[in-house]
Amino acid sequence: MAQDRHHRSTDLLRRLQQGLQLTGWPVYVKRLLNWPATTHDAHLSRLAIAAAKLILLTGSFSRDISHWVFLTGRLYLVLRQGYIITIPVFGNRMHKQIELERRFGACNYHPLPVVLTHGDGCYVWDTDGKQYLDMMSAYSAVSHGHCHPRLLQTLEEQAGRLSVVSRAFYSDRLGAFLQRACELSRMDKALPTNTGVEAVETALKAARKWAYEVKGVATDAAEIIVCRGNFHGRTLAAISMSSEPEYRKNFGPFTPGFRVIDYADTAALEAAINSNTAAFLVEPVQGEGGINVPPRGYLTSCADICRRNNVLLICDEIQTGLGRTGRFLASDHEDVQPDGVILGKALGGGVYPVSLFLARRDILDLFQPGDHGSTFGGNPLAAAVGLEALNVLLEEGLIENSALMGEHLRAGLHALDSPLITDVRGQGLLVGFEIDATRVTARTVCEHLMDSGILTKETHETVVRLTPPLIIDREMIDSALVTIGDTLATLTK
């Protein structure tokens, strides 16, 4: 039903646009009003604002309007001069959800104004039944696609059997999951957590413990080296490592013991190491930092420097791991064997939070009962889902597909040859393109892509990320490239 409704409305929109193009008019869709735009709006009456915007708009353009159509929650005004103006005037259901979220939820995110109700594979649908290609994948957590049948089945079966027992007892699920994760990442042991940042915290604690108990660093003197532009999560320790002022403002005082060096700078790493250095924590490709791919050989050199200086190399593969870059781990591209690896996001198969810190036996064996833990970490439901997520990844060829489709996507972006794109970067299906900030923001590009049926989100002001589920196929990418090309062409005018 919803799909039918969607097809009818997109068809109508397509015909409307095609019709206008046939007349030879310079058609483009320009968002003049951005509703709902600011958090202040939430305090005012929705109707009053919508009415004010409409009066304002029609007041200034009324003589120019030749047609109007209301479609998928938006009012399209066709001007005689050949322009279309779109005003997002959401239907009651859609708008109510945004209003509710804003009124009762902390505004610690800036979502695009779309309310999603369901997903299937690479697609999601909003409350009006409009279909979108998901090129965001929940910050790479939905690599298997939405509602993967095998993962849903595992989730349902395990939830009906046993979900949470805490680590006060053993379960018949955790061991097998940890074994598979260790084998695939060539690590000896793993410590299960829920969210990625908890696994990062675990890695930091393990590195400090190793520095004091093995390396012989003086009490409370351990240092961990991290990179400028890193993203390791949002806890106090994680933002204490961050070089991003926005993440840190008014959250001090910060956790001491971190040194920040430039990313992809091996000389800086060598120079920053001293006798107190416990570990170097690095993302093989910086995701949130702007899809920054270091030069080939960087990780190999880092591993070499760390080994020579008795410093642990810990790779945060929460975003880059599990096939996202076209190999099981991004560090596999250079056959680097880190001392510790952090996994999360896609490990939960897009249905449940599952994360791990994996490391050498001599590092994780330092933890004693009571040293560290989490009530939900490693519960049977998480373990069952995590194991199935790994199995699906391998058995359904998602990693190979990521490598192939990533190459195809990047080649297609280059071929667009848009003056708005200043750079295309990525590895596998962790792809981003840099936007010429003097002409348009990445946010505006994402808003226009949303209108055209592609969902993604900017990282920083200038990078549009494209990180679809790893099950995406060539036809979907080709169609996305057409949409991206048209959108950029529209914004170039």
Ligand X SMILES: Cc1ncc(COP(=O)(O)O)c(C=O)c1O
Binding site for ligand X (CB under 6 A): 139, 195-197, 200, 231-233, 283, 287-288, 316, 318-319, 344
Q: How do strand 74-79 and strand 65-71 relate by DSSP bridges?
A: antiparallel
| CB burial of residue 22 (10 Å; 0-12, 13-18, 19+) | exposed
Amino acid at 407: E
Q: How far apart are CA 216 and CA 198, in angstroms?
A: 26
201 versus 434: smaller Cβ distance to ligand X: 201
Alpha-carbon span 440 to 280, nearest angstrom: 36
Nearer to ligand X, 344 or 469 (CB): 344
Chain center to CA of 346:
10
Instruction: Judge whether 231 counts as a catalytic residue.
Output: yes
Closest distance to ligand X from the beta carbon of 481 (Å): 25
Classify residue 213 by its DSSP letter. I
Catalytic residue among 231, 280, 328, 433: 231
Q: Indicate the residue among 119 and 196 with the shorter CB distance to ligand X.
A: 196
Alpha-carbon gap, residue 143 to 471, rounded angstroms: 7
Q: How far apart are the first and last CA of the chain?
A: 37
Tell me how far, at minimum, the Cβ of 316 lies from ligand X, in Å: 5
Catalytic residue among 53, 189, 209, 345, which?
Answer: 345
What does the angle CA 349 – CA 463 – CA 439 come to, to the nearest 5 degrees? Answer: 150
* Shortest distance in whole angstroms from residue 369 CB to ligand X: 25
For residue 170, which of 372, 379, 454, 474 has the smallest C-alpha distance?
379
Neighbours of 474 (CB within 10 A): 13
Among the listed residues 302, 295, 349, 299, the one whose alpha carbon sits nearest the alpha carbon of residue 322: 349
Q: How far is the CB of 467 from ligand X (least distance, A)?
A: 11
Cβ distance to ligand X smaller for residue 88 or 349: 349
Query: Considering beta carbons, is residue 94 or 151 the nearer one to ligand X?
Result: 151
CB of 405 to ligand X, least distance (A): 20
Angstrom distance (rounded) from CA 46 to CA 36: 9
> Which CB atom, from 354 or from 424, has the smaller least distance to ligand X?
354
In whole angstroms, how close is the CB of 80 to ligand X at the nearest point?
47
H or E element at residue 478? helix 474-492
Q: Catalytic annotation on 451?
A: no
Buried b / exposed e along 80-118 (16+ C-beta atoms within 10 A): eeebbbbbbbbeeebbeebeeebeeeeeeeeebbbbbee
Smaller CB distance to ligand X: residue 119 or 229? 229
Q: Exposed (0-12), middle (13-18) or buried (19+): which is 451, by Cβ within 10 Å? A: buried
Q: Which residue is nearest to ligand X (CB)?
A: 196
Residue of 134, 316, 332, 451 marked active site: 316
Smallest gap, in angstroms, from Cβ of residue 317 to ligand X?
Answer: 8
Residues assigned a catalytic role: 231, 316, 345
